[in-house]
Amino acid sequence: MSDWDAAKYHRISDPQLAWGRTVAARLAPVAGERILDLGCGTGRLTEEIAQTPGIHVVGLDRSAAMLQEAASRRAQTPGLDSHTGPAYVRGDGEALPFADVFDAVLSTATFHWIPDHDRLFRSLYTALRTGGRVIAQCGGAGNLDRLYRRAWALMRSPACARYFATWSSPNHFENIADTEQRLVRGGFKDIDVSLVMSPVTFERPEAFTEFVAAVCLRHHLDRLPVENRDDFMQRVTDDATADDPPLTLDYWRLNISARKGRA
């Protein structure tokens, strides 16, 4: 499986940044806190959070390409370097390399890429100090249903079916009830989970195609020969152009808030 095109993601990830800023506002960090940004990507939000005086931020991601892009941009940003800016670490949310370290874990647009949410929440619990909080948002039940139904129809077409014979979706869009139960099993208290619709509309078909190919359907396109990918995306974009409103992704966001209680 190919890694992210991190430079492109950095350029087109305005929707993720907007969601992240909303989640960061719920975080409300205060001086003296240590914050983990789980799934930090290229560090756009991580660097904004790090501007809060007196806090220490660590950005963690599984993608080497994302972390290389984040470190490169940090080095090029006035006032930020390896000493004053956030630290970046490569790691897996299901097996965080920390214990009793952080006052809060922030995460946006990441949990739905993690297969086992029971392991994820146990890992978060271990990484947090007593009283520490999880403030997160990810794709939830119903997320991008229209887009993925259309992709599935193309995947089953005679031209594409052989490339998807062993297909397994990498997305894990969870619902409220199951997430609440997993958080309880993980030891968390003060649990609050909600699901909200957050559609994203693009002004031009080219922008829609670029975003969807790089983010939503990149694993699908990895399965196809290079010469078939443009046609696949053209069909997806044509369908979206006919929607009302056109070129709109049907995003649903699962908001998560919980606190680590005493064992």
pLDDT digits over 122-158, tens only? 999 999 999 999 999 999 999 999 999 999 999 999 9
Task: Say how far residue 182 (Cα) sits from the centre of its chain.
Answer: 19
The burial of 244, by beta-carbon neighbours within 10 Å (0-12 exposed, 13-18 middle, 19 or more buried), is given as: exposed
Record the pTM.
Answer: 0.94
Q: Is 168 left (phi over 0), alpha (psi -120 to 50) or beta?
A: beta
Amino acid letter, 36:
L
CA atoms of 192 and 244, how far apart (whole Å): 33
What are the backbone dihedrals phi and psi of residue 172, each rounded to the nearest 5 degrees, phi first?
A: -135, 85
Domains of the chain in start order, with CATH, are: 6-260 (3.40.50.150)
pLDDT digits over 197-212, tens only? 999 999 999 999 999 9
Task: Say how far residue 254 (Cα) sits from the centre of its chain.
Answer: 11
Q: What is the mean pLDDT of the chain?
A: 95
pLDDT digits over 51-87, tens only? 899 999 999 999 999 999 999 887 776 666 555 679 9
Amino acid letter, 89:
V
CA atoms of 12 and 14, how far apart (whole Å): 6
Structure tokens at 225: 């020969």
